[in-house]
Every structure is written in structure tokens, then in C-alpha cells.
Amino acid sequence: MPESDRTLRFTAPQWGAALVYSAEMRVVRWLIAGTVLCCGVAAADTYPLAITDAQRHQVEQISCRSRHALSVASIEGRRYGRGENAAATAEVHCVPHGMYRGRPIHYITQCSREHGQWSCQGEWTAITVDMDGAPLEARIEGQIAFEQADGIIRKIAHSGMFQGYPLRKVLVSPCYVHQGSERELIDVKCDGWHVIVSTWCPQSDCPRIFSLTKLGD
């Protein structure tokens, strides 16, 4: 097994098996600007994002205005080569469109540039969870309610140790919250850690920690 595919698994004893995403699924579903290199360019060839006014308008249109009738707040990313049309990835933040527990809610979209043209794929709704005075950004994908995502993050934070590892250390902002194909299972990914939380709890309080996996090494 390649070194990059090694994982550290922690699984709830009553289930007996860990759920672990393949390397391919991790790249597709959890693409974060600047962490995945584009088009075969080496890491040494990355540069700060350069974007023209026309391209900025294009990104704003396809990521914020056409989807939500909102303007763009920021575009942050990297380019992989020289020149304003070099391949690039960017994380696009739309302006806030609401409030959750006194803090702004906003959309975040993952976009990429090829041959001077931009396209956008994944999208999350970002809320802030108050972790005993320390704010943590939760990026929600799909139809998970804000209150449910908030509760799941707090459950992880206050669950102490899970098979020898302190769960509070897993929660490094931002955390991505996604409902899996099994609707009772919620994926939470933060800083290389993957926590699966179950909302089906016949013998314990809900939600409960199902498994903990260290992605990569």
C-alpha cells in the first residue's frame, strides 16, 4: 500500500468495522483550495492567485450571483504556473446572506481555472460554532440543518477520548459536515481527521461517535 494511502482507524466497538474513504473519494469530495495540485504541475511551481477584473467578474457570476443573487466577498487560491491564464484553484466566499446565533452565514464555492476559463463545482454553507468562546467554522454540504451540524460539532468536542484519542483536538477549523449515503451517518472532516457520527442510537444518547479515522499520514 502506498504511504499516502495509509490510514489510522478508530472504530466504535459495537460496530466492529471502520468506514474509510478511498484516496480517490477524498480528492473528489473534499477538494480544498491550495491542497490539491492542478494539471500535473509540481508544488514548487505554485504562485499566489492572479486574476483579472474580467475573470473576477466571471467567477462572481457563476459562483455567487447566478446561484444566489449575491456578490462575491473574497477569492483566495493558488495558480500552478506563470501568467494570468495559468491553471488555478480558488475558494470563493459570497457575501453573508443571513445570521446564525449572532454570526454571519455565507456560501463557499470551490472553483478552478483552465485555459483562462473558470468553472465551479462544490459548494458549502458556512456557519460559526461557538466552542466555549473559540469560534470554529463548520462548512455544511447538503440539507443538514444548522442546528444539527452545530449539535454534532459540540457532541464531538465534549465526548472526551475515543479509543485513546482526545476528540477535541480533531476539531480544527474549518470542519466539513456532510450526510453520507446512509442518512443516519454524518461525516465530519477537519484537518486530516474523519469522524463519522451516528444519529441512530438504540442503546445510547444521540448523536454518538461511530468511528474516527486519520486520513493520510
pLDDT digits (tens, 9 = 90+) for 103-148: 999 999 999 999 889 999 889 999 999 988 889 999 999 889 999 9
Going by pLDDT thresholds of 50, 70 and 90, the confidence category of residue 217 is: low
For the record, the C-alpha cell of 68 comes out as 444566489
Lowest average pLDDT, out of 23-27, 126-130, 163-167, 180-184, goes to 23-27
Going by pLDDT thresholds of 50, 70 and 90, the confidence category of residue 186 is: very high
- pLDDT over 80 at 195, yes or no: yes
Which carries the bigger pLDDT value, residue 58 or residue 37?
A: 58
Place of cell 456532510: 178
Going by pLDDT thresholds of 50, 70 and 90, the confidence category of residue 178 is: very high
Going by pLDDT thresholds of 50, 70 and 90, the confidence category of residue 23 is: very low
Q: Report the mean per-residue pLDDT for the chain.
A: 81
The CA-atom distances, in angstroms, between 100 and each of 12, 54, 146, 171 are 32, 33, 8, 20
Question: Which among 12, 7, 6, 14 is positioned nearest to 211, based on CA atoms?
Answer: 12
The predicted model gives 21-28 an average pLDDT of 33
pLDDT digits (tens, 9 = 90+) for 32-42: 334 444 444 44
What is the length of the chain?
217
Who's near 46: CB < 8 A, 6+ residues apart?
Answer: 34, 37, 78, 79, 80
The predicted model gives 183-204 an average pLDDT of 90
Phi, psi (rounded to 5 degrees) for 156: -60, -45
The CA-atom distances, in angstroms, between 68 and each of 62, 65, 98, 104, 215 are 10, 5, 12, 16, 33
Tally of CB atoms within 10 A around 67:
14
Q: Read off the amino acid at residue 156.
A: I
Alpha-carbon distance of 81 to 19, in angstroms, equals 37
Question: Which among 100, 99, 109 is positioned nearest to 73, based on CA atoms?
Answer: 109
